[in-house]
Structure 1
Amino acid sequence: MAVEAQGSELVKVVVLLAAGVIAVPIFKRIGLGSVLGYLAAGLAIGPFGLGFFADSQAILHVAELGVVMFLFLIGLEMRPSHLWSLRREIFGLGTAQILLCSAAMTGVGLLFGFPPVVAFIGAMGFVLTSTAIVMQILGERGDLALPRGQRIVSILLFEDLLIVPLLALVALMAPAELAGDGAARSRWLDIGIALASLAALLAAGIWLLNPLFRVLAAAKAREVMTAAALLVVLGAALLMQVGGLSMAMGAFLAGVLLSESTFRHQLEADVEPFRGILLGLFFLSVGMSLDLTVVAANWPLIVGGVVALMIVKAVCIYIVARLLKACHTEALDRAVLMAQGGEFAFVLFSAAASARLIDATVGANLTAIVVLSMALTPIAIIALRRLAPKTALSLEGIDEPNGLGGSVLLIGFGRFGQVVCQSLLARGVEVSIIDTDVEMIQSAQTFGFKVYYGDGTRLDVLHASGADTAQLIAICIDDRAAATVTAQLIRHEFPQARLLARSFDREHALELVHAGVDLQVRETFESAMRFGEAALVELGVPQDEAAEVVAEIRHRDAERFELELVGGVGAGVSLLYGNMQQTPLVTPKPRAGAKAVEPAVEDAAGSA
């Protein structure tokens, strides 16, 4: 029987993994995102789908560790100084959003006919945005480190802190018959335990964690370091849970306390695999917890509640964002992204049910509303992205070229163009610069560079930028096709200027030479050749011999390029990769004065 039980548990593990592995790639492929894939997979295998699992709540309790580890990793990125710099966003923006949303959604609950206490608890549960879903979407979009992402993270942190006073408030609102003679004493005892747990965590983080990891690092046992990382995360979560506080907040504080540690990156690498698996399990369990029988029995209330609460919360978030000087695009994105209830709502509803503030039916309805809102969030984000009108490019504070007259016209002021510009400015050369990246232009202005907004593929822009009087035009844009078009246009319209261009690979270099550039530079070669020469020297090869090897590589690459220029792409590649012999020099007949320098390191296809 024990063997059969073990086999049954193993089947469940296999089903969980298979559901995620199958659903997530499909949903990402069709553009719906991984979160919705996990939720759909959980619904499919849960008690209201194929019925592989009867108790989704048991899985949800384990899966909450994914959120715990997620917040630990966020804490590792939040150094105390950085966290202090966000204090206005955390307490100012977070407080304003919570107050307005809670008041408005309590009103919605009252309009739906709920008693004031039930309406308030339902509203506060919906105020607590899903940290897991929002952070996952921000991570997939690459917005976590951006200012708009940091503001959202600040609000999420404040909402996570809010669960503590909300649970205390639920205990205070409990009916009098639930409280014994020692109720007041018990509440003060709970507060004391919570403060003691918090103090113990802070003391351990300040005085124990770094010495512990130094000892373990000296032992050179990698598996012990991984175990210690998990011990820190789970221990901090357990300590906060014992104190009646949020497990996720305990893990976050542990991460903050270790953010200045020299072991920060090691801890992040050790915890990351567990975080990903458990967070996926969390989304699966949320999908399983959607009780379709409750939805079917009370669908007018649940559907109306989901729509009303999401719209009201989104409107409130938008209003707060606009009042605090966010642009329309950022405010709208934040409103849609945070318009759902979150995982801490389940904790709040469970506590309210234990305190007899809500009955089982109301709790099931509120839980279904929150779960549906979480499932609808990825769809709402996709709809916003596809239906929202494209924002017009704002050129406020940015000038367009008009009658520029520098001796050099630089097109493109990215990383490559900035380095090129330094040499010219160091010799006092007058340089006119144009680019189409508004954010980069604004950033360059803060460093004293005057960059004009202009598209180098347009003839009128080139005339306004002084191309007809420039002695030299440098094409440094990070767009292969646009660079070729610009080179062709400049060579035809402005023959007086020497034309230099940045190329991306061998094929692009050939395109530019045929377009008539006087010199093209493949962008990666010089650094790669210096790197290779330094590697040889570090291996003990004499400096002069290493230089000879590099010179020989340059010579062979130039020969191959000339062969390809005359005979077509690939003519010289077969000579090099076929027998690695010295290839004969073939003199091409390109445009007079054309050169090819700094060829890129090639791969087997010769495309670099």
Structure 2
Amino acid sequence: MLPRLTPLLAAAEGLPPLFTLLAVMLTTVVFVSLLLLKLQQSLLAGYFICGVIVANSGVLDLLGGGESEARIAQMSEFGVMLLMFTLGMEFSLSDLRYVRRLAFVGGGWQMGLCILIAGAGAWIGGLSMTGAILLAVALAMSSTAVSLKTFQDLGLESSTGARMALAVAIFQDLFIIVFFLVLPLLLHEGGADQSIWQRVGSLLGRGGLFVILAGVAARWVIPMLLNAVTRTRNRELFTLSVVGSCLGLAFIGGLLQLGLALGAFVAGLAVSESIFKHRILADIMPIKDLFLTLFFVSVGLMIDLQVAAIYWKPILALTTVIMVAKAGLITLIARLLGLAHRQSLMAGLGLCSAGEFSLVLLQKAGHAGVWDSGTQQTFIASAALSMGLLPALMRAGEPLGTRLEKLGWGRKKPALPESAPMRQKMSVMHDHAIICGYGPVGQQLNKSLHDEGVSTLIVELNAETVSLLKRQGQAVLFADAAHAETWELTRLSEARMVAFTFPDATLTLQALSQIREHRKDIPVLARARFASDVERLKRFGATVVINDEIEAARAVVEQGRVL
């Protein structure tokens, strides 16, 4: 441990150990993340590095040792559940309809070949059959969150390469649902003294019961609960209901020995096609980010630098093999499915790392004693390192592909059309008007803009109105305009104007702060019930403010003259 830190940490002994540890961790995360942002690197790498620093600095021993680490691990488990919940929400059967060929053919070949090659290599390398299967599945999975986020950062979210990555990610999600069901069987949980047929029967029974309970919750319980909560217009209660639904199904999955992560993932699936999806994403994102940070930090806490230093060669070798082999294999599959060379390369690079599910599986395998600690260190470090390197590799991939095309690589080769449908959050809305509120004023503005040929996006918190607009084919978000995440979903950077058609100045001011943080130039139309609110709204960024009192007075005067 650094000598200068010893007196400071010793003075903190009177504080709760977990609080002190969290303060040290999160403060370190902030400074390391700022440095990585300067270097345009992934923040996930920063979280992992912070965990490594804390684990190997002696802080854990001073702040309670294993007890503090166990509490952090429990909090990270909550982060995993919220991660699985959001991944479940981002899964969409409507997306699958558009990319089913890429998903089932491309994803099937990718998972099948990766599992076969990795499993054979692990078996030859001396792992048990269970260890080989778990490692093969873990290495075959890719990081959906990092990949698609990097495609968006590069402005390539509508490219064919991103569509291929999305399709394979959907297939991986389907695969992991089934694999989580059989995972307790592989790890001999809940009945090591039973025969294989008894364990299979028990698994099928518990799995069937969970499917029934999850289906009832998805079809009736959760929608009825969220409908009732939205009528109260209480933001805190809505967030609490969402988290409660997630934890409730996760709890059921845990009671049935199917895993907390599977229950949370199914809870996300339960609302993935509902009108509440975008509102939930906006509400849950800040909470998820916090606990997801703890998850990746906890992964770093598992790394012993002294042991990793001994195994540094296997770690670098395995990371290189994972990324090169998966990139090459997926690029080849994408080419065989008709993608152009450059887009095939981007799809391959986007899916070449390990993923969040990989870390979950490796952690479970390590806790179950499937392999020794040195092997666990190698696998965890390699998976985390591949995820940290992914954004930089993808940024280098686009100019590399362009350069290779200029040299004649893939010239005059067939390619899939770039304009094929993407998931809604990747839709190509451009030069659209964002209308917040769909009361009488919002309806008239929406109709007028449509008559002028301007596309619109409605942001509304009335569930019945949102359902009606979706049936009519109107682009609509069930979301709160005061949330920063809402404005990311609206594609504010591509919009032509924003209109607040309700006279609530407090809510409009909250939303204005979010809008002006992202777009200084976009025109904003607002309403104010009272004259005192007009200047305040203009001062905070409203371009035009309609005063209800003045407009009502003008209408009264005009009607009085007519009468």
How many pairs does the alignment contain? 425
Residue 372 and residue 86 in structure 1: after superposition, are their counterparts in 2 closer, same or farther (change >3 A)?
Answer: same
**Which residue is 1:542 aligned to?**
554
SS of alignment partner, residue 208 of structure 1: helix
**In structure 2, C-alpha distance between the alignment counterparts of 1:11 and 1:79, rounded to whole Å:** 41
Aligned pairs (5 A) from 1:134-533: 134-138=147-151, 140-141=153-154, 148-163=161-176, 165-166=178-179, 179-245=192-258, 247-349=260-362, 352=365, 357-384=370-397, 389-390=402-403, 532=544
Alpha-carbon distance between aligned partners in 1 of 2:363 and 2:526, rounded to the nearest angstrom: 60
Report whether the alignment pairs 1:22 with 2:27: no
1:84-123 alignment to 2 at 5 Å? 84-109=97-122, 118-123=131-136
CA contact (8 A) 2:340 2:413 kept: no
Deviation at 1:146, TM superposition (A): 6.1
Q: Assess, with a 3 A threshold, how the Cα gap between structure 1 residues 188 and 360 changes in structure 2: closer, same or farther.
A: farther
Q: Does 1:32 align with 2:46?
A: no
Q: CA deviation at 1:98?
A: 0.7
**Residues 380, 49 of structure 1: CA spacing in aligned structure 2 closer, same or farther, 3 A cutoff?**
farther
Which secondary structure does the structure 2 equivalent of 1:539 belong to?
A: helix
Cα deviation, residue 274, structure 1 = 0.4
User: What per-residue deviation string (whole Å, max 9, x for no partner) do you get for residues 506-563 of structure 1?
Assistant: xxxxxxxxxxxxxxxx9979999xx9496579732527999xxxxxxxxxxxxxxxxx
Q: 1:267/1:124 Cα in 2 relative to 1: closer, same or farther (>3 Å)?
A: closer
Contact 1:170 1:351 in 2 (8 A): no
Deviation string for 1:295-342 (max 9, x for gaps)? 222233232222223211221111111111222222222222322223
Q: 1:101, 1:317 within 8 Å by CA — same for their partners in 2?
A: no
Q: Specify whether residues 166 and 209 from structure 1 end up closer, same or farther in structure 2 by C-alpha distance, changes over 3 A only.
A: closer
Given the superposition, is the C-alpha separation of residues 154 and 71 from structure 1 closer, same or farther in structure 2, using an over 3 Å criterion?
farther
Structure 1 residue 279 displacement after superposition: 2.0
Indicate conservation of the 8 Å contact 1:317/1:334, yes or no. yes
Change (3 A) 1:237 1:150: farther
Find the aligned partners of 2:13 and 2:302 in 1 and give their Cα distance: 26
| Equivalent position of 1:7 in the other structure | 16
Counterpart for residue 540 of structure 2: none
> Is this contact kept in 1: 2:44–2:387, CA < 8 A?
no
Q: Is the 8 A contact 1:57 1:285 kept in 2?
A: no
Structure 1 length-normalised TM: 0.59
Deviation at 1:186, TM superposition (A): 2.8
User: 1:22 and 1:331, CA in 2 relative to 1: closer, same or farther beyond 3 A?
Assistant: same
Partner residue of 1:124? Answer: 137
Which whole-Å CA distance do the structure 2 matches of 1:79 and 1:168 have between them?
20
Q: Relative CO higher for 1 or 2, CA cutoff 8 Å, sep ≥ 6? A: 2
Give the whole-Å Cα distance in 2 for the aligned partners of 1:117 and 1:107.
12
The offset of 1:9, in angstroms, is 1.9
Deviation at 1:369, TM superposition (A): 2.6
What is the Cα deviation at residue 374 of structure 1?
2.7
Q: Is the 8 A contact 1:310 1:339 kept in 2?
A: yes
State the partner residue of 1:43: 52
Using the alignment, how far apart are the partners of 1:392 and 1:220 within structure 2?
A: 54
Matches within 5 A, 1:54-93: 54=65, 59-76=72-89, 78=91, 80-93=93-106
Question: CA contact under 8 A between 1:24 and 1:34: conserved in structure 2?
Answer: yes
Distance change (3 Å), C-alpha of 1:155 and 1:277: same
The 10-residue stretch of structure 1 (109-118 or 223-232) with the greater mean CA deviation from structure 2: 109-118
Shift of 1:94: 1.5
Question: What SS is found at the alignment partner of 1:340?
Answer: coil
Deviations 1:418-457 (A, max 9, x none): xxxx99xxxxxxxxxxxxxxxxxxxxxxxxxxxxxxxxxx
Change (3 A) 1:315 1:141: same
Instruction: Select between 196-205 and 129-138 the one with higher mean Cα deviation.
Output: 129-138
Residues 326, 352 of structure 2: 8 Å contact kept: yes
Which has more radius of gyration? 1
Contact in 2 for aligned 1:90/1:158 (Cα 8 Å): yes
Q: Which amino acid aligns with 1:295?
A: A
SS of 1:32's equivalent in the other structure is coil
Q: CA deviation at 1:250?
A: 3.8
CA distance in 1, matches of 2:14, 2:151: 40
- Measure the CA separation in 2 of the matches of 1:523 and 1:180: 67
Distance 1:43 1:320, change over 3 A: same
Match of 1:564 in 2: none
> 1:578 maps to which residue?
none
Tell me, yes or no, if the aligned pair for 1:20 and 1:41 is still in contact at 8 Å. Answer: yes
Task: Report the CA distance shift for 1:273/1:7 in structure 2 as closer, same or farther (over 3 A).
Answer: same
Scaled by the length of structure 2, what TM-score is found?
A: 0.63
C-alpha distance in 2, partners of 1:533/1:31? 40
Q: Which runs of 5+ in 2 are unaligned?
A: 1-11, 415-429, 433-450, 453-493, 495-520, 528-542, 559-563
Q: CA deviation at 1:244?
A: 4.3
Aligned 8 A contact 1:232 1:254 in 2? yes
State the AA in 1 paired with 2:349: V
User: Counterpart amino acid of 2:390?
Assistant: T
Q: Distance in 2 between matches of 1:257 and 1:146?
A: 29
- Judge conservation of contact 2:250–2:264 (CA < 8 Å) in 1: yes
Residue 312 to residue 375, structure 1, CA distance change in 2 (3 Å): same
Distance 1:367 1:202, change over 3 A: same
